[in-house]
């Protein structure tokens, strides 16, 4: 009995080796990225081995069964790509909807002014204004006490005002 099962496994292995290049060509004709095609072949081979016990015993039936599994793997791949594109579109739409239009020159001036601050002040301003942390939370992230954060923040605001008011008044 065990010898018969071993013979069947060898026969199946030989068939998979024979059909694998055809399956790879099948994927390559349907998607443009060769590495994706190879990944899909790998997924298909995994399914084939997991389901080997239900493979048809005749050569042509087993070959068609393998292509049926490859087709299902390809359909799953396409569904995943479509889902990913829909999510990316939804994220893009959400970002466009929630982003506030700003004058590019003003935005560039603000970014440049923040970048010109000393590093300890720059990071505090970024954490508070760009990352949305409260001043106390930013202090914790920076490992400083709240009173130091308040004095640094006050200094940063003064430096930014000195830099930005003349620029933006033009």
Task: Give the domain extent around 46.
Answer: 2-98
Final residue of a structural domain among 58, 82, 98: 98
Q: Which pLDDT score is estimated for 170?
A: 60
Identify whether residues 74 and 120 lie together within a single domain.
Answer: no
Which CATH number covers residue 81? 1.10.1740
The Cα–Cα gap between 113 and 108 comes to: 8
Supply the pLDDT for residue 1. 44
Whole-number pLDDT of residue 152:
93
Do 49 and 90 reside in the same domain of the chain?
yes
Q: For the chain, which residues score pLDDT lower than 70?
A: 1-7, 98-106, 167-170
Instruction: Count the domains in the chain.
Output: 2
User: 98, 125, 148: which is the final residue of a domain?
Assistant: 98
94 and 68 share one domain: yes
* CATH assignment at residue 150: 1.10.10.10
Map tokens 């830099």 to a residue.
163
pLDDT confidence of residue 21: 96
What are the tens digits of pLDDT across the range 141-168?
999 999 999 999 999 999 988 888 876 6
Q: What is the rounded distance in angstroms from the CA atom of residue 103 to the CA atom of residue 164?
A: 14
pTM of the model: 0.54
């Amino acid at each position: 009995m065990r010898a018969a099962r071993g013979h069947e496994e060898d026969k199946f292995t030989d068939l998979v080796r024979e059909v694998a290049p055809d399956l790879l060509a099948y994927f390559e004709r349907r998607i443009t990225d060769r590495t994706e095609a190879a990944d899909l072949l790998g997924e298909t081979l995994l399914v084939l081995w997991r389901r080997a016990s239900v493979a048809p015993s005749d050569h042509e039936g087993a070959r068609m069964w393998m292509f049926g599994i490859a087709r299902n793997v390809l359909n799953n791949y396409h569904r995943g790509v479509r889902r990913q594109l829909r999510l990316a579109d939804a994220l893009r739409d959400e970002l466009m909807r929630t982003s506030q239009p700003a004058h590019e020159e003003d935005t560039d001036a603000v970014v440049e002014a923040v970048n010109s601050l000393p590093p300890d002040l720059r990071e505090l301003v970024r954490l508070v204004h760009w990352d949305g942390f409260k001043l106390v939370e930013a202090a914790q992230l920076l490992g400083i006490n709240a009173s130091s954060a308040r004095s640094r923040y006050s200094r940063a605001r003064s430096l930014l005002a000195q830099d930005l008011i003349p620029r933006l008044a033009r």
